Structure 1
Amino acid sequence: MGEIVNLKQVKKRQARERASAEAAVNRAKHGRTAAEKANDRRAEARRQALLDGAQREAEACQEEG
Structure 2
Amino acid sequence: MAEIVNLRLARKARKREADKAAAEQNRALSGRTKTQKLRERSEQDRAARELDAHRRDGD
Q: TM-score, normalised by structure 1?
A: 0.46
1:31 corresponds to which residue? 31
Hey, which of these two has a bigger chunk of helix by percent? Answer: 1
* Cα offset, 1:30, TM superposition: 1.1
Q: Are residue 5 (structure 1) and residue 2 (structure 2) matched?
A: no
Work out the CA distance in 2 between the residues paired with 1:25 and 1:10: 23
Of structures 1 and 2, the larger Rg is shown by: 1
* Cα offset, 1:31, TM superposition: 2.2
Amino acid at match of 1:29: L
* Cα offset, 1:2, TM superposition: 0.8
Amino acid at match of 1:20: K
Structure 1: give runs of 5+ residues left out of the alignment: 33-65
Amino acid at match of 1:17: E
Amino acid at match of 2:28: A
Structure 2: give runs of 5+ residues left out of the alignment: 33-59
Map Cα deviations across residues 26-50 of structure 1 (whole Å, 9 max, x no partner): 1001125xxxxxxxxxxxxxxxxxx
User: C-alpha root-mean-square deviation of aligned residues, in Å?
Assistant: 1.7
